[in-house]
């Protein structure tokens, strides 16, 4: 229920959904209108206390690298 509301909300920039397949599909479908990035488990569950939940994939999804261009010179 909450995944659909968050997916449609314009002030939420991204959404991680690790739930049943129906909830993941609903979140992905609802986020199309505002081009929200959704990372879903497609029905897979995650043991958040295990090493699986502390891997590079989570770091890549949690960090957004941005470049800043600063013009200077003559």
User: What is the pLDDT, as a whole number, of residue 3?
Assistant: 87
pLDDT of residue 31 exceeding 90? yes
**18 alpha-carbon distance from chain centroid:** 10
3-state secondary structure 3-18: HHHHHHCCCCCEEEEC
How many Å apart are CA 31 and CA 26, to the nearest integer?
Answer: 9
What residues does 15 pair with on adjacent strands?
38
What are the structure tokens assigned to 34, written together?
Answer: 């505002």
The pTM assigned to this predicted structure is: 0.69
User: What is the pLDDT, as a whole number, of residue 60?
Assistant: 82
């Amino acid at each position: 229920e909450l995944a659909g509301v968050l997916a449609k909300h314009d002030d939420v920039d991204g959404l991680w959904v690790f739930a049943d397949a129906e909830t993941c599909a609903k979140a992905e479908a609802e986020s199309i209108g505002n081009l929200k990035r959704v990372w879903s488990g497609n029905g897979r569950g995650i043991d958040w206390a295990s090493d699986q939940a502390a891997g590079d994939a989570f770091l890549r999804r949690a960090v957004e690298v941005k470049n800043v261009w600063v013009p200077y010179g003559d």
